[in-house]
Amino acid sequence: MTNDEIKEIEILQKRGIGYTKIAAITGKPVNAVKSYVARHPVELEDVCIFCGEPLRHTDHRRRKTFCSPVCKNKWWYAHPHRMTKQTLNEFICPVCGTEFKDYGKRIYCSVRCYAQARRKSNG
């Protein structure tokens, strides 16, 4: 491959285009593109999804998405539809009959009722 073809492959790879499309664009065989990319991986620079500023990651930590708490808050304020919303469900405790609200699958209103139910079922 010539230097121009290599540069073109690297540019297309940085844009996130896959092997098959790169091969179709450059006119090279898919396996040739795949083997070149495997031998010469391009390091993609992570950027903040709100402002586009480059992110610095700490080793052995989760990859960052935002550069600062300010960007994070602004992005979530602009995209409320992306939040997973939970609704409070109403339950009635089978031991004491108390009505309580919870997000999950709780059965009893308290630890005391849970323990009492366990004692009753064990005999």
Question: Rounded to 10 degrees, what is the CA torsion of 102, 107, 108, 109?
Answer: 10
Residue range 58-100, pLDDT digits in tens: 888 888 899 999 999 999 999 988 887 778 889 999 999 999 9
Residue range 22-38, pLDDT digits in tens: 999 999 999 999 999 88
121: phi > 0 → left, psi -120 to 50 → alpha, else beta; which?
alpha
